[in-house]
Amino acid sequence: MKIKFLITVLVIATIFSSYAYEKTYDISHVFYYTLTSVKFEEFVKNAEIISPLNANNKTITKDTILVGTPNDNPLIKKYIGFFEVKVNETYPGKDKGVIEKQIINGHTVVILTGSDIQGVYSSILTFANLNDLPDKPIICETFNKAEIYGIPSLDSKYFRNFVEDHLLTLKNIEEVKNISYHLRGDNKKETAENIAKWVAEHVKYDYGKAKKIENGKFEWKDIYNPPLKTVKTGRGICLDYATLTSALLLNDNITPYILDVYLYNESSMRLSKISHASVAVEINNTFFVIDQQPKLIPINEYTTQTFEGNLKIASIVMFKVVKERDKIKIIKYREIPGVAIYGDLVELLNMRFNN
């Protein structure tokens, strides 16, 4: 993973002093050339990392790195009073992170926290560049927004253009119009339910294609199918399901939202190499997800699901599919806050200490 961020680190000299030391550097180079103390290296290698991914029912029984905002990580919320800087939603402020060390239950505990997710990411990146455990609190901030996407992702304009030009053209959508007509219900919800059920019953998951993607040896045009081909073969992978579902919805005048879904392994806290795709529809101001199942799933329930391989959802990016006069446009609509950044801490520390 190559990460290039400029980070401004403000080190609090004392709680009573306004003096701050400021340093700017390219974080991607510091991993390999900054020496670390033996004590710091031993701490990182032996400490348990507890983030919102694995914080439930946890207690501090050894040296620990606590990661997340006080709202996301119950252990940080529980122990924040032990630390000098009392982090909350407004302090130290938007996009600002905090690194602090304290002894709790006889163990060294470091918190990587912040007022928001971006602040937490700042503390993660900064911590991965330290050469020793901090004696004083560190307040840090990144200049660049951290964004994590799977591969391939609709956030890539090249892949988005491929979907618009080869999978969801006006012609492609017209080819499945008869199916949409027969699935039209008395209202928006009934129509969406009919489409979800029909797709789940008529398309089977293609594990062979999925394996090719996992191995990384494929061409987009050889893997992903336009809607009619998915119907004729009766097989597909997640994006095939998503584009077919989107085409059927568009023909019935329902706006689909394709979801880029990023997954992580709960035990290792690592992001999956493969992202997932599904579709959402908005009904009475609530989003419902259509994802290879014969029913609509409220999005708040969908985000808690466990996927094959014991994977869970790290984050979701929604893309609105808009039918214009001469073509289909896929427009980034919303990011659903996720926990993908916590897996990055493991990756960064591995880069630093196991390189």
Confidence of residue 211 (pLDDT cuts 50, 70, 90): confident
In this model, does residue 76 exceed pLDDT 60?
A: yes
Confidence of residue 242 (pLDDT cuts 50, 70, 90): very high
Q: What angle do CA 225, 211, 168 make, to 5 degrees?
A: 15
> What pLDDT score does 2 carry?
39
DSSP secondary structure string for all residues of 174-189:
HTTHHHHHHH--SSHH
> What pLDDT score does 301 carry?
84
- Average pLDDT, whole number, for the chain? 82
Give the pair of three-digit tokens for residue 118.
Answer: 């971006």
In this model, does residue 250 exceed pLDDT 70?
A: yes
> What pLDDT score does 140 carry?
86
Q: C-alpha distances in angstroms, 106 versus 41, 219, 271, 323?
A: 19, 55, 32, 61
> Region 261-273: what's the mean pLDDT?
73
| Lowest-confidence pick of 23-27, 172-176, 245-249 | 23-27
Report the distance separating Cα 11 and Cα 129, nearest Å.
Answer: 14
> Region 5-19: what's the mean pLDDT?
36
Are 83 and 111 in contact by the 8 Å Cβ rule? The answer is yes
Report the distance separating Cα 349 and Cα 184, nearest Å.
Answer: 52
**Helices in 147-302 by DSSP H: which ranges?**
157-162, 170-174, 177-183, 188-202, 207-215, 220-223, 227-233, 238-251, 299-302
Which residue has tokens 């989107």? 246
> What pLDDT score does 16 carry?
31
Q: Measuring CA to CA, which residue among 262, 263, 254, 330 is closest to residue 290?
A: 254
Domain annotation for the chain: domains and CATH numbers: 6-146 (3.30.379), 157-339 (3.10.620)
Are 124 and 341 in contact by the 8 Å Cβ rule? The answer is yes
Q: C-alpha distances in angstroms, 162 versus 103, 166, 251, 330?
A: 53, 6, 21, 11
Of 342 and 237, the structure prediction assigns the larger pLDDT to 237
Q: Dump pLDDT digits (tens) for 32-55.
A: 335 678 888 899 889 998 877 677
Give the pair of three-digit tokens for residue 323.
Answer: 């039918």
Are 141 and 93 in contact by the 8 Å Cβ rule? The answer is no
> What pLDDT score does 339 carry?
53
> Region 149-162: what's the mean pLDDT?
76
Report the distance separating Cα 149 and Cα 172, nearest Å.
Answer: 27
H helix or E strand, kind and range, residue 41: helix 38-46
Are 195 and 177 in contact by the 8 Å Cβ rule? The answer is no
- pTM of the entire predicted model: 0.63
Of 12 and 178, the structure prediction assigns the larger pLDDT to 178
In this model, does residue 17 exceed pLDDT 60?
A: no
Confidence of residue 152 (pLDDT cuts 50, 70, 90): low
In this model, does residue 245 exceed pLDDT 70?
A: yes
> Region 50-71: what's the mean pLDDT?
85
Confidence of residue 23 (pLDDT cuts 50, 70, 90): very low
DSSP assigned state of 47: P
- The share of the chain scoring above pLDDT 90, in percent, equals 44
> Region 287-296: what's the mean pLDDT?
95
> What pLDDT score does 85 carry?
92
Give the pair of three-digit tokens for residue 128.
Answer: 């991965």
> Region 335-349: what's the mean pLDDT?
63
In this model, does residue 1 exceed pLDDT 60?
A: no
| Lowest-confidence pick of 161-165, 259-263, 298-302, 348-352 | 348-352
Confidence of residue 88 (pLDDT cuts 50, 70, 90): very high
DSSP assigned state of 4: -
Q: Dump pLDDT digits (tens) for 294-336.
A: 999 998 788 878 888 788 887 788 999 999 888 999 999 887 6
